[in-house]
Chain A
Amino acid sequence: SQQGEEDPQALSIQEGENATMNCSYKTSINNLQWYRQNSGRGLVHLILIRSNEREKHSGRLRVTLDTSKKSSSLLITASRAADTASYFCATGSPQGGSEKLVFGKGTKLTVNP
């Protein structure tokens, strides 16, 4: 079963606006990762935040993690038409030796020029 659940399922904004996507999960995690998927392509890793971190930045991306609420958010600032894609969160297990990431169902972001 899915671990992460993204919200909203779809988001449409104008170029230049900020986009915020949320991810909730159910069990303890070691880390949480965000991926982007352009139409017809594979997933591309954006950013990883560990369970002992609260906020992380990478360019126009800002990720927060609240382990007490079991939730994360991805903020894309000053969005561009090229940011149009689906965004997925994925959680890594805290169990030693675990290989697996569990992906959510994704948020489809449309940035209108």
Chain B
Amino acid sequence: NAGVTQTPKFQVLKTGQSMTLQCAQDMNHNSMYWYRQDPGMGLRLIYYSASEGTTDKGEVPNGYNVSRLNKREFSLRLESAAPSQTSVYFCASRNEGRTKSDQPQHFGDGTRLSIL
């Protein structure tokens, strides 16, 4: 069972370049999330998708776009990368629960992105 798979694992970009981070889950989960993790900052939510065809902004959406391609896949795009977007990006998914947030999130192993 692969769970949540993120590609690529590492990437180095130059300022101004564009890039799409890929995420796929095989657990038939409805909800998917993109976070960034910076030293000393914990995880911050960029965008999330409650179901196929819907996306919503999180805490730090500026400079990013997302696409919920189908139930399995949720991609994150940097249109014009900036050094401030150097971070580790995590994708997560979650099943439906009794309330919307009372199920655990399942995480991928991250994409380490450096922007020069």
CA distance A97 to B54 in the complex (A): 14
Indicate if the CB atoms of B40 and A101 lie closer than 8 Å: no
Cβ A100 vs Cβ B42 within 8 A? no
Q: What is the CA–CA distance of A30 and B40 in the complex, to the nearest angstrom?
A: 26
For chain B, give the interface size range. 20 to 34
- Contact status B102-A30, CB under 8 Å: yes
Quick check: B105 and A88 within 8 Å, CB to CB?
no
* Contacting residues, chain A, for B101 (C-beta < 8 A): 30-31, 92-93, 98-101
Q: Chain A contact residues: over half helix, strand or loop, or mixed?
A: loop
B56 and A41 contact, CB distance less than 8 A: no
Tell me the residues in window 74-102 of chain A with beta carbons closer than 8 Å to chain B beta carbons: 88, 92-93, 96-102
CB-based contact B99/A103 at 8 Å: no
Whether a CB of chain A sits under 8 angstroms from the CB of B31 is yes
* Cross-chain contact of A101 among B50, B56, B99, B105 (Cβ < 8 A): B105
* Given A88-B42, A98-B101, A105-B42, 10 extra CB contacts under 8 A: A1-B59, A30-B99, A41-B109, A43-B105, A43-B107, A92-B102, A97-B100, A101-B45, A103-B42, A106-B42
Q: Give chain B's interface residues, CB within 8 Å of chain A.
A: 4, 31, 35, 40-45, 48, 50, 56, 58-59, 90, 92, 94, 99-102, 104-110
